Structure 1
Amino acid sequence: MTQAIGVGVGLIVVLLASLYFDIRIFVALVAIVIGAGMWELARAVTLRGIRIPLIPLWVGGAGMMVSAWVAGPSALLMAFALTCGAVLVWRVVDGGGLEAVRDASTTMFVAAYLPFLASFAVLIARRDDGPWAVLAFVAIVVASDTGGYIAGVLFGKHPMSPSISPKKSWEGFAGSQTLAIIVGIAFALFALDLPFWVGALMGLCGVLAGTIGDLGESLIKRDLGLKDMGTVLPGHGGIMDRLDSLLATVPVVYLVLELLS
């Protein structure tokens, strides 16, 4: 637990420093972390005999984030489509057959799951209120995890999905919603100059998306026979073990901000 808290505090300090000094540092950090996450996930799926071509995936992932930063969501979609095409061509040229189709489709999933979703954090960062909006998004995810953990430990009796994630409970989910909505309202009123209900909606929708992300990654790990995706973050597991709820939450928060702010 001490290690986990120390790593968590260190990550928060790095995040705050990047937002304070230059938002472009945050964007660069996102690219680095996502690149490492792609490597971690590519290594994990080799347990099922799947070979992911990392070079076009890394290049395409970087292209998605640069496109999102420079030209917005339309450019991001185009970069994602080009990445999928490049991955397919690369893998077929490297050796065709059914294995190539399987590997290419898995790589496209990874491209959508990691760099594409992470690029919504870049889209949030390029807003006029980018640093505060990014901080609000991260704070909602942290509040969701914290509220869920506390409520689950104190009151958890009814499992949400025992076959997928036995430790998740409906009481923990209620705790996640409560604290995330409070944090969302606070950021809306005091940092983003938005109505309180927009903050409440960010918290509500963010927790729903984050929970789906958690369960989705649990399914992937169960299919691969893994407890954690890695060991690079002591007390937390792998990079993907920290990114699951963040990746699922960020497009939802972006859409709420874009449509309602």
Structure 2
Amino acid sequence: MSYSDPYSSVDPRRARHPGVAPEDYDPGFPANLDVPGWAGPTQPGFQQQPEPDPDPRHEPEVNGYTADTTQLPVVAPRDDDRRRGEPRPDADRRRARSDDEPSDPPQRRRGPGKRRAGPGRPPTSQKPSRAGRNLPAAIGVGVTLGGVLVASLYLYKPAFLGVLALAVAIGIWEVSRATREVRAHPPTIPLIAGGILMVGLAWYAGADALLLGLVATLLAAAVWRLADGTKGFKLDMTVSTLIAVYVPFLAGFAALLAVPEDGADRVLVVLIAVVLSDTGGYAAGVFFGRHPMAPTISPKKSWEGFGGSVVAAAVGSALTCYFLLNIDFWWGAVFGVAISVAAVLGDLGESMLKRDLGVKDMSRLLPGHGGLMDRLDSILFAVPTAYLLLSIFAPVR
């Protein structure tokens, strides 16, 4: 096949090989001589194209009209607007890696599970338990606290007084701290000192000394508070009275229970009844709870759970009272019912106090429980009830 130009007078058969113009070939129009062996376009009217304007805002004339874009800003291309096939730095780094260097392990595909947060997509919240607590942590903390109490009771009884005084001090601190949500400032130092004094008086001097310790604590708190002026004095003293009665005064009955010779057994019977009431209420509420008991105070408590608390405490107390304190089964069952009712009322009372203060827990001291007062709420109402009933069923001789 030979080169043929219909507008040329040169014989096309003079070409030496296809695609190459003859030596004396004259096409009659300018040809691109920079490229060897190419004679330019074969169509007539060819004109040299103008050099492209480096400014992208200047557009060439199209169909007789010129676009005026000189006022538009110049926008630099983004990194993600790369043309397909353009080399990327990460690809260059991969090519430059030596053959003996191990490559990055492939990413694992995420399976079903907790969804990660992203733009417009909140993280999947973990479904809480129906009891509203971390059950393994609650069990571990409860077993630890119970072990400390039992060891102090049976190994060295005066150590129980130290554990009780420490619990009273922490409880006073937690409640005082929580009441600051309502702009109350009870004097914490005299309340803690008076609370420890009340427990010590109950241990060494009896119930009358416990009452005198309460009066002395309130007087000390009033004198301490007067140093800060009269503004808010009524609110602070009201809160101080609540704290002094709620925490150290009620806890003093635990000291009264532990003083007799069989005091360790008396305290243990009360603790077992409270634990059984809490456990029975939890189990019955989770499996059978349908009717809320006090939805405005504690939405998770149900009448079915309350029934489970009463039954568990009654059965357990009938056995423990019989074998530890030599009380008949029926009176032991009555004791368990009374302790269960008192424990539930104590739990509801603290829940009502926390709702009024606007806090979820008294503190975050105990994992799975919240604060120490979130565990003492049931016991504080149970020990005065137990002290009254045991003074009738099993009086100290």
Number of residue-to-residue matches in the alignment: 260
Counterpart of 1:102 in structure 2 is 235
Within the candidate set 178, 182, 204, 2:311 is matched to 178
For residues 198 and 70 of structure 1, the distance between their equivalents in structure 2, rounded to whole angstroms, comes to 30
Whether 1:167 aligns to 2:300 is yes
Identical amino acids, percent of aligned pairs: 48
Q: Determine if contact 2:277/2:340 at 8 Å carries over to the other structure.
A: yes
Cα offset for 1:178?
Answer: 0.5
Cα offset for 1:86?
Answer: 1.7
Q: Determine if contact 1:4/1:236 at 8 Å carries over to the other structure.
A: yes
Cα offset for 1:38?
Answer: 0.7
- Structure 1, residues 144-171: CA drift from partner, whole Å, max 9, x if none? 0000001111111111011111111111
- Structure 1, residues 19-51: CA drift from partner, whole Å, max 9, x if none? 121111112101101101111111111111100
Counterpart of 2:218 in structure 1 is 84
Whether 1:242 aligns to 2:375 is yes
Counterparts in 2 of 1:1-261, with a 5 A limit?
Answer: 1-97=135-231, 99-261=232-394
Cα offset for 1:59?
Answer: 1.4
**Counterpart code for 1:255:** L
- TM-score when normalising by structure 1: 0.97
Cα offset for 1:251?
Answer: 0.3
Give the gaps of 5 or more residues in structure 2: 1-134
Greater share of helix = 1
For residues 309 and 249 of structure 2, the distance between their equivalents in structure 1, rounded to whole angstroms, comes to 26
- TM-score when normalising by structure 2: 0.64
Cα offset for 1:176?
Answer: 0.3
Larger RCO (alpha carbons 8 Å, 6+ apart): 1
For residues 258 and 214 of structure 1, the distance between their equivalents in structure 2, rounded to whole angstroms, comes to 24
- Give the 3-state SS of the residue equivalent to 2:229 in structure 1: coil
For residues 13 and 209 of structure 1, the distance between their equivalents in structure 2, rounded to whole angstroms, comes to 23
**Counterpart code for 1:49:** R
For residues 392 and 195 of structure 2, the distance between their equivalents in structure 1, rounded to whole angstroms, comes to 26
For residues 197 and 113 of structure 1, the distance between their equivalents in structure 2, rounded to whole angstroms, comes to 31
For residues 288 and 353 of structure 2, the distance between their equivalents in structure 1, rounded to whole angstroms, comes to 28
Q: Determine if contact 1:201/1:256 at 8 Å carries over to the other structure.
A: no
- Structure 1, residues 47-72: CA drift from partner, whole Å, max 9, x if none? 11100111211111111111100111
Q: Determine if contact 1:230/1:238 at 8 Å carries over to the other structure.
A: yes
Q: Determine if contact 1:64/1:80 at 8 Å carries over to the other structure.
A: yes
- Structure 1, residues 108-157: CA drift from partner, whole Å, max 9, x if none? 11000000000000000002211111111110000000000011111111
Which 4+ stretches in 1 moved above 6 angstroms? none
Give the gaps of 5 or more residues in structure 1: none
> Between Structure 1 and Structure 2, whose CA radius of gyration is higher?
2
